Amino acid sequence: MNLLTIAWKSLRQRALASSLTALSISLGIMLMVAVLIINGLVTEAFRQNGTGFGLVVGGRGSGDMNLVLNAVYRIGMPGEPLPWRYYDELRNHPYVESAVPMAMGDLTQEGQFPIVATTPEYFSLGYAPGKKFTLKKGGRLLGKYFSAVIGSRVASQNGWDVGSTFQLSHGGMDDHVHTERYEVVGVLGRTGTANDKTVFVDMEAFFMLAGHEKPPQEAIDRLREFGYEVTPQEEAVIKKAAAEMNHEGEEHGDEPHFHAVPNDLKEVSFILVNTKDIMGLPFLAAQINEGVKAQAVNPVPVMRRLLDNVVGNVRTLLLCLTALIVVVAGVGIFVSIYNSMSDRRKEIAIMRALGAHRGTVFSIILGESLLLCLGGGVLGLLFGHGLVFVAAPFIESEAGLILNPWLFEPAELILFPVLMVMATLVGFLPGMTAYRTDVAESLTD
Amino acid sequence: MSLSIRALRKSYVEPGGRTINILNVESFDMASAEQVVLVGSSGGGKTTLLNTISGITTADSGSVVIDGTDVTTLPEAGRDRFRALKIGFVFQTFNLLPAFSALENVLLGMSFSGQKADHAHARELLKRVGLEHRLNHRPSELSVGEQQRVAVARGLANRPSLLLADEPTASVDTANQDNVLSLIREACTENKVSLLMVTHSPEVASKFDRVEKLSDFNKPEVAA
């Protein structure tokens, strides 16, 4: 019989106390595993989004963090918009391979999901390196006015599918609801990113909604702020087009109809840019940032900063708390084994009388501690993944995070060496008690 | 196995500060495969003698030579190993480990010698003591007599040269006393194991050819 078998049988003898002790460890490990899995997922989510494009270009003054929060995480309201003429200029830049315009600000009336107006080109960027958007069967990408492609969470939470219709409302304090109804033409597959909770609508139709086009004079002023020359002839054309859109001086009629919006009346919240060559990214960013019109942000360092400063701190806090729980459980193991030692003096003395060395009985007690810690650890690992399995639907509906309960975080592997060290520490003192047991005296007890 | 004790001294200090020389044996010998019973009153040093022979307790002076090895000169680890390989124990209160089955208790007797546990031998021993049908029963599921038989099997598990039995019949009823005693003696004879048994029962002692009164060769004294 090897020492671990002897240790196991001794634990089995005190089945209730041993089970409760292992359970206390397993609960600590369960929490730690759950935190690690959720943390891994959040980290992945924060990392993943920024990699479908190289730069986010937005109005100067928005701040790089705000720009990334808007563009990548669809959080908050966008800052100063960019004129369409700037977008045209950027997409024709020799370094640029693709430039996808995006306009934000509206929300779905139901569920308050952010609306992002864009072009179908957005979906060709992919949501992560090598990861392409997928469409649920029967769906298609944007292609006609007032069509929408929705993220998976929007679909599940609002109960929408291809053919569903909905209305848009203004974000912020204004609770105006647009009368136009959008029709869902496609439902995206799950990505585990902010795209899941986004509604994508066609850029052209977005500007046809009342109030989405820039008033002509403001648009002209904004163009001039950006340093574009607006000739009196161009100014007249802009104003005439705006007047035609609004049917100034003529009968509007009852039939619903829409007018194409002149480009100079359009603005975009930001532009997602990929360069032809990766080396072009810093040059392009430097060029954009030299001017006063816009700012270009590489999302990756900003996201990393966000991850480290915000998510990282929360993660550290949670890990510290769960580590404390594990340590408390470790103290529980120590107390449990140490308390049992006085009842086991005779048992140890018998083993010594049968020829066991002091080191052997020390090892048996250490083995018990190891078995409790590692057994509790394995149990905690299963409980942790079980907890994620049970909590996944709730977390997905509340936080939009798609949890894979069977995802194994590499950090979980560290738990076992840590548990072994802890087992050694908590088993040391009881082991020493066994080591020092007076055999002759204990045999006569 | 031969046992030879010479000028063995062991003392301890009482709580009051008095030093008692509990063992003061000038000479004691046993031949190979001999069966000897030691008779003595309580507190006469019987258990201390057994503990000193087995190396559980260290002697203050003197020698205990078993098969040419002086146990008193061995370091503690050496005494543990010697005990694991050469000496079997049967205790008054059986001292079976409650967490282990009958078979496992016997296997435990082999576990500390550094040799591979011999399951077949353990089963054979339990069969010999009539417990082949109780192999997987824990001590709490066995009668007192059965427990003592397991203890006998465990005492012989490591194929010892010397079996030390400390009042092995004291905890069993009269009806079982003879059975246990016969079993120990027969098992020792079959396995050519020397037996040194201590008892305070004249009835048990009367079954042995060689009966030694501890007081005849051990002269405890108050040192100071």
Render pLDDT for B72-129 as a digit per residue (tens, 0 to 9).
999 999 999 999 999 998 888 888 998 899 999 999 888 888 888 889 999 998 998 8
**Which helix (H) or strand (E) element contains residue B103?**
helix B102-111
* Angle separating helix axes A232-245 and A216-225, nearest 10 degrees: 140
Pairing of strands A165-170, A96-108: antiparallel
- Given a cut of 60, whether residue A48 has pLDDT beyond it is no
d(CA A226, CA A60): 11
The predicted structure's pLDDT at residue A74: 84
Q: How many CA atoms lie within 13 A of B58 on its CB side?
A: 10
* Interchain proximity B97–A347, CB inside 8 Å: yes
Amino acid found at A164: S
Find the DSSP H helices in A14-83.
15-48, 64-73
Task: Please give the angle made by the CA atoms of B47, B48 and B54, to the nearest 5 degrees.
Answer: 90
- Altogether, the residues listed in chain B come to a count of 224
Among B12, B112, B121, B159, the residue to mutate for chain A (most A Cβ within 10 A):
B112
What confidence tier does B34 reach under pLDDT thresholds 50, 70, 90?
Answer: very high
Contacts of A308 (CB under 8 A, 6+ apart): none
Closest chain B C-alpha to A324 CA, distance in angstroms = 33
Cβ-contact B147, B98 below 8 angstroms = no
Q: Where are the domains positioned within chain A? A: 3-46+305-444, 55-297
Average pLDDT of span A270-291:
88
Among B95, B104, B118, the residue to mutate for chain A (most A Cβ within 10 A):
B95
Average pLDDT of span B34-38:
93
The predicted structure's pLDDT at residue A338: 84
* Interchain proximity B56–A360, CB inside 8 Å: no
Backbone angles phi, psi at A122, to 5 degrees: -55, -40
Q: What is the 3-state secondary structure (H, E, C) of A329-395?
A: HHHHHHHHHHHHHHHHHHHHHHHHHCCCCHHHHHHHHHHHHHHHHHHHHHHHHHHHHHHHHHHHHHH
* Interchain proximity A10–B77, CB inside 8 Å: no
Average pLDDT of span A182-195:
88
Residues 89-118 of chain B with CB under 8 A from chain A are 89, 91, 95, 97-100, 104, 107-109, 111-113, 117
- Given a cut of 60, whether residue A30 has pLDDT beyond it is yes
- Given a cut of 80, whether residue A216 has pLDDT beyond it is no
Q: What is the 3-state secondary structure (H, E, C) of B53-99?
A: HHCCCCCCEEEEEECCEEHHHCCHHHHHHHHHHHEEEECCCCCCCCC
d(CA B161, CA B88): 8
A353 touches chain B (CB under 8 A): yes
Which pair of structure tokens corresponds to residue A302? 């900003």
The predicted structure's pLDDT at residue B55: 92
The predicted structure's pLDDT at residue A99: 93
Q: Tell me which chain A residues have a C-beta less than 8 angstroms from the C-beta of B59.
A: none
- Closest by Cβ to B104, choosing from A9, A354, A443: A9
Average pLDDT of span A105-116:
86
The predicted structure's pLDDT at residue A173: 53
Burial (CB count <10 Å: 0-12, 13-18, 19+), residue A410: exposed
In three-state secondary structure terms, A127 is coil
- CA B110 to chain CA centroid, nearest Å: 15
- Closest by Cβ to B56, choosing from A13, A347, A439: A439
**Which helix (H) or strand (E) element contains residue B38?**
strand B35-39
Closest chain B C-alpha to A381 CA, distance in angstroms = 28
Question: What is the per-residue burial (b if ≥16 Cβ within 10 Å, else e) of A116-147?
Answer: bbbbebbbebebbeeeebebeeebebbeeebb
- Given a cut of 80, whether residue B32 has pLDDT beyond it is yes
Residues 11-50 of chain A with CB under 8 A from chain B are 12-13
Question: What is the per-residue burial (b if ≥16 Cβ within 10 Å, else e) of A202-232?
Answer: bbbbbbbbeebbbebeebbebbeebebebee
* Interchain proximity B84–A352, CB inside 8 Å: no
* Interchain proximity B113–A355, CB inside 8 Å: yes
Amino acid found at B76: E
Q: Can you state the percent helix, strand and coil of chain B, rounding each to 5?
A: 35, 25, 35
A93 touches chain B (CB under 8 A): no
* Interchain proximity A357–B97, CB inside 8 Å: no
Taking the alpha carbons of B66, B71, B72, B73 in that order, is the dihedral positive or negative? Answer: positive
Q: Tell me which chain B residues have a C-beta less than 8 angstroms from the C-beta of A347.
A: 97
